[in-house]
């Protein structure tokens, strides 16, 4: 990565890659989709499973783009930021009960201020060195990759450990939920549905397992899993 300029857009694109890989691992190990629809790949020097389904790939890409649009938007300033958490909630098909939750805690994610980023238009890393280059002591590609690699590795290990508890294929379904601050208005968007029942991420499950923390530059978030048992 030394030849890639350390710019805001390139860091955001790297974070986007992490989010898509993180989501893929949850869906793969949860038996929501057939195992043969995934392929092994290396991301952040970690062996991961990525969907080969064009429709699921597009869904994940579009979801992450929309999530980052909200996370990085220039909504009115708030001490809590735009997004508190991103959670994948697994439900049992038989009874509609919550089985597991996989959460990224975003309470301390640092806003980009006046910097405008249109995530949906960032497809490849830019090699224009003068494009919003970052000059912050200790915040560089080594720090970014070290933190993201560490969390992803622990994420994969924990999911592998839990695979023996998996229900048969197609016995679970998932919902992707974001918990936003009150100042974020999503009412006009057809892409979001308000959730306010006992199955929302607000209700914590009995077993909580911290996975890891990313704390470098504006990338400030934690990874936590919750299980019924």
pTM: 0.86
Fold of 8-227: Cell Cycle, Spindle Assembly Checkpoint Protein; Chain A (3.30.900)
User: Among the listed ranges 3-12, 118-127, 208-217, which one has the minimum average pLDDT value?
Assistant: 118-127
Name the pairing type of β-strands 219-227 and 172-180: unpaired
Return the domain boundaries, the chain. 8-227
Q: Which residue has the tokens 């009115």?
A: 76
- Write a three-state SS string for 164-210: HHCCCCCCEEEEEEEEECCCCCCCCCCCCCCCCCCCCCCCCCCEEEE
91 versus 108: which is more confidently predicted? 91
The pLDDT tens digits of the residues spanning 38-92 come to 999 999 999 999 999 999 999 999 999 989 888 887 655 554 468 889 999 999 8
**Per-residue pLDDT at 178:** 87
What share of the chain in percent tops pLDDT 90? Answer: 44
User: Among the listed ranges 84-88, 139-143, 201-205, which one has the minimum average pLDDT value?
Assistant: 201-205
């Amino acid at each position: 990565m030394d030849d890639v300029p350390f710019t805001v857009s390139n860091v955001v694109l790297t974070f986007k890659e992490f989010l898509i890989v993180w989501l893929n691992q949850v869906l793969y190990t949860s038996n929501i989709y057939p195992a043969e629809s995934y392929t092994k790949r290396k991301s952040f020097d970690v062996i991961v499973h990525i969907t080969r389904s064009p429709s699921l790939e597009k869904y994940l890409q579009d979801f992450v783009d929309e999530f980052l649009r909200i996370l990085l938007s220039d909504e009115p300033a708030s001490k809590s930021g735009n997004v508190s958490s991103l959670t994948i909630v697994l439900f049992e098909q038989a009874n509609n009960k919550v089985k597991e939750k996989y959460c990224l805690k975003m309470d301390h994610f640092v806003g980009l201020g006046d910097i405008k980023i249109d995530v949906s238009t960032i497809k490849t890393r830019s090699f224009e060195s003068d494009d919003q280059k970052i000059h912050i002591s200790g915040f560089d590609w080594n720090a970014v990759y070290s933190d993201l690699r560490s969390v992803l590795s622990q994420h994969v290990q924990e999911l592998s450990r839990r695979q023996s508890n998996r229900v048969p294929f197609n016995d679970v379904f998932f919902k992707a939920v974001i918990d936003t601050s009150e100042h974020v208005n999503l009412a006009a968007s057809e892409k979001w549905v308000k959730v306010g029942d006992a199955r929302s991420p607000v209700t914590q499950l009995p077993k909580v397992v911290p996975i890891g923390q990313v704390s470098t530059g504006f990338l400030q978030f934690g990874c936590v899993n919750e299980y019924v048992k």
